[in-house]
Structure 1
Amino acid sequence: MEGAITMEAVVEKEQMKVPVFKNKNFVLLFISAIFSSPGYYVYLIGAEWLMLSINDNRFYFGMLFFAASIPRLLLLTIGGLIADRFNKRTILFCSDLSRAILIGILIGFLLTDSITAVHLIILAACFGISDAFSYPAMNSLTPILLNEEQLQRGNSFMQMTTQISPILGPALGGTLIALLGFEGVFSVSLAMLLLASIAVLFIRLKEESDEAEKPSPWEDFKAGWNYARKNELVVSIVIMAFFLNFFFAGPLAIGLPIMVKDIFQGDAVSLATVQTAMGIGALIGAILLASIKLKKPGYVMIISLITLGVLYTVTGFSVNTLIMAGLVAAMTFTTQLVNIPLITMLQQTTDKKMIGRMMSFLMTVSTGFVPVSFVVTSVLIAIGVGIQSIMIVSGIIITLIAIYNLRNKKILEFKF
């Protein structure tokens, strides 16, 4: 009996040493993400530049982000429940396919020359609904397909796909807008999302035994909420992220395109340059974390947050596109040193049956202020407050919040 246990342990240890790319299911998930994330960013730069081109009222531009964030926020918890109860592969397939259909509708509006700001805002809201279901499913699939020892590396590779997106997506999108117009950029995005949905279909998950009667969705929700409430690490991270996102999400997402077009007098290629720089910085950060294992992830997180706040403040003083692109690249590199350890911490300390719910709770609560951030930023711009001033003040506040969290021992003392 003892020999059998020893042999089992050796086999398990050997499995943990297997590279993540020997895992066929993970490779398919990775391939799907390679098409899905850049495809979304190709759509995004097209939608952003289209909104800036058809309407001079920058309040509507802010509403583009607000419309996407509200359904995402309201439905993320439901998305987590569904991810824990149903086939995650099917959820991802439906998400990518629905995005492709939405882009097809947008192309139809363009071909009939009937596109308006309202159409773009409604489509953004529909994309937000899709995000609410795809995010928990994607992040709860990774720990199911990989062993715990592979999680940091697997998450880093998945983050690479996410961060290649702001490199390939804007670069491809800006070029296509210049060469083929908006119909061309959206057609390529549609094709990429269709390919992503096809790759997901080939993932094979083990069928779980279903002998016990499943609890109701409400019981699932209560169980997940109680689990999250008792997890001190989750509570610490969520409280910090709740306030940080308010000062970061709105000013950055709305501010960068407006600065490029209105202050630097740039074009779609200029915006693509800035967003590509974002992807390059984030990709380098993801590659770094795929090649090393952090000994003090919590400490790295807090110091990186302080650095992020300082860089964000300085970005508000940018005088041209290239300087802003360099600062943004440094910011997104630093962001990876926050995001990847955070997700890995949560995955390693969470029961696998609860991962979908924990991911959705984290996103729901921590991004609770994001829609408000979009509205407040839009209103401040509408009443005449400069976007650069908004970014500078927000960066200073983020720095102060991060410094305050140097007292948070629960995060600082965490070890993988």
Structure 2
Amino acid sequence: MDSVVKQEELKVPIFKNRNFVLLLISAFFSSPGYYVYLIGAEWLMLSINDNRFYFGMLFFAASIPRLLLLTTGGMIADRFNKRTILFCSDLSRAILIAILLSFIWMDSITAIHLIILAACFGISDAFSYPAMNALTPVLLKNEQLQRGNSFMQMTTQISPILGPALGGTLIALLGFKGVFTVALLMLLIASFAVIFIRLDEEKSVSDKPSPWEDFKEGWNYARKNELVVSIVVMAFFLNFFFAGPLAIGLPIMVKDVFQGDAVSLATVQTSLGIGALIGAIVLASIKLKKPGIVMIGSLVFLGVIYTITGFSSQLFITAGLVALMTFTTQFVNIPLITMLQQTTEKKMLGRMMSFLMTVSTGFVPVSFVVTSTLIAFGISIQTIIVVSGVIITLIAIYNIRNKKILGFKNE
């Protein structure tokens, strides 16, 4: 009888899975809400302080606690109710934005305030990321994962479309008070949507005797998984040359090179989401038989487009190139996450997701500092992007020899 029930469960369409739909709804409000906040914080920092080193520190401050606490976040995701973790994460972000609004109303906001709040957002990210990615395969079957991950990416990637577009418009029409108020409301909606997800107790709580035992078990599991090692080593170096220059570079290019305003920044950042959304839609409609080959090929192409972006001197050309880049990144990120989820035991998913994020982004805080320091010493952000793009291309070409990734086949 049990086998008959399991066969029936396999036939349940993704959008008739109540829990998964609620997770999508939560992500739909959470990610755009965060991006509305982010474009507001970026433009506020650029407006109140002319020192671009402080702008880089905005990203550095968020990345350090995220990096330090991701492993803890993964262990907590494996031990406790993932729904509760996501609720607390979104609610805490809403509270942080409320604090920021209070500083703005009192006309006492400074660069230091923005940096401290960014660090607090980083703490929240460290717990929400592994919980979100560990919850998806709990709610879906293995053969639904690529499609489910594509829809999750699709929902998430709407954020760089809706978020910057809405944020830039609100800054122009209502100022910073308006943009941060909308961000707060969106995160509140996300936090309450996730409450209605229902999980079986045995899927939500781990019975390991101690967090230290959890950590050791997760570390040993990751160390023996050659695919995990191959993926994170490559991602470790790629993020150093991609995350810092792109995250810091685009707003500075808009402000200093293109002489643009908040709407101009929204245009470029919206193109990020458009490219990523189209990529997610494509991957939701097809099944990759050899995702490893697609992933490596896409990395080579990504490096080339990234290099070309550094030479751009026009706003709309840059927006088009950025859209092409984020379209390509979906053919890297979705296969990567799907490969890891399919080869990982469900009880280890939270730890493996946090391990991937921790190791692969290990150089990101350094990347922010190095990028900010190079800019402070007078090196143009365009030069930094060009050099980084060339290095990414070379790293991707080197990994053409990686048989572990290239040989992976979808289930």
TM over 0.5: yes
In structure 2, what is the equivalent of residue 190 of structure 1? 184
Which whole-Å CA distance do the structure 2 matches of 1:266 and 1:210 have between them?
48
Deviations 1:25-82 (A, max 9, x none): 0010000000000000000000000000000000000000000000000000000000
Asked if 1:277 is matched to 2:271, the reply is yes
Asked if 1:123 is matched to 2:133, the reply is no
Asked if 1:76 is matched to 2:78, the reply is no
Asked if 1:35 is matched to 2:38, the reply is no
In structure 2, what is the equivalent of residue 382 of structure 1? 376
- Give 1:221 deviation, angstroms: 0.1
In structure 1, what is the equivalent of residue 246 of structure 2? 252
Which whole-Å CA distance do the structure 2 matches of 1:143 and 1:10 have between them?
21
Residue 348 of structure 2: SS of its match in structure 1?
Answer: helix
- Give 1:130 deviation, angstroms: 0.1
Map 1:5-404 → 2, pairs under 5 A? 8-208=2-202, 214-404=208-398
- Kept in 1, the 8 Å contact 2:35–2:163? The answer is yes
- Give 1:252 deviation, angstroms: 0.3
- Give 1:13 deviation, angstroms: 3.3
Residues 212 and 29 (structure 1), Cα distance of their counterparts in 2 relative to 1, 3 Å cut: closer
Residues 80 and 213 (structure 1), Cα distance of their counterparts in 2 relative to 1, 3 Å cut: closer
Deviations 1:208-231 (A, max 9, x none): 199996321101100000000000
- Kept in 1, the 8 Å contact 2:240–2:367? The answer is yes
Which whole-Å CA distance do the structure 2 matches of 1:112 and 1:242 have between them?
42
Deviations 1:145-175 (A, max 9, x none): 1111111111000001111000000000000
Which whole-Å CA distance do the structure 2 matches of 1:225 and 1:170 have between them?
38
Residues 240 and 108 (structure 1), Cα distance of their counterparts in 2 relative to 1, 3 Å cut: same
- Give 1:16 deviation, angstroms: 1.8
Which whole-Å CA distance do the structure 2 matches of 1:302 and 1:282 have between them?
17
Give the TM-score normalised by structure 1.
0.97
- Give 1:9 deviation, angstroms: 4.2
Which whole-Å CA distance do the structure 2 matches of 1:241 and 1:249 have between them?
11
Identity %: 83
Counterpart code for 1:327: L
Deviations 1:357-405 (A, max 9, x none): 0000000011000000000000000000010000000000000000000
Which whole-Å CA distance do the structure 2 matches of 1:324 and 1:209 have between them?
45
Which whole-Å CA distance do the structure 2 matches of 1:254 and 1:209 have between them?
39
Which whole-Å CA distance do the structure 2 matches of 1:125 and 1:220 have between them?
26
- Give 1:17 deviation, angstroms: 2.7
Which whole-Å CA distance do the structure 2 matches of 1:402 and 1:169 have between them?
31
- Kept in 1, the 8 Å contact 2:81–2:204? The answer is no
Which whole-Å CA distance do the structure 2 matches of 1:197 and 1:278 have between them?
25
User: 5+ unaligned residues in a row in structure 2: which ranges?
Assistant: none
Residues 306 and 212 (structure 1), Cα distance of their counterparts in 2 relative to 1, 3 Å cut: closer
Q: Which runs of 4+ in 1 moved over 6 A?
A: 209-212
Which whole-Å CA distance do the structure 2 matches of 1:338 and 1:380 have between them?
28
Which whole-Å CA distance do the structure 1 matches of 2:206 and 2:282 have between them?
43
In structure 2, what is the equivalent of residue 408 of structure 1? 402
Residues 16 and 181 (structure 1), Cα distance of their counterparts in 2 relative to 1, 3 Å cut: same
Deviations 1:338-369 (A, max 9, x none): 00000000111000000000000000011000
Counterpart code for 1:78: T
Which whole-Å CA distance do the structure 2 matches of 1:336 and 1:77 have between them?
24
- Kept in 1, the 8 Å contact 2:91–2:188? The answer is yes
Which whole-Å CA distance do the structure 2 matches of 1:16 and 1:395 have between them?
43
Counterpart code for 1:22: K
- Give 1:11 deviation, angstroms: 4.1
Which whole-Å CA distance do the structure 2 matches of 1:325 and 1:210 have between them?
42
- Give 1:10 deviation, angstroms: 5.0
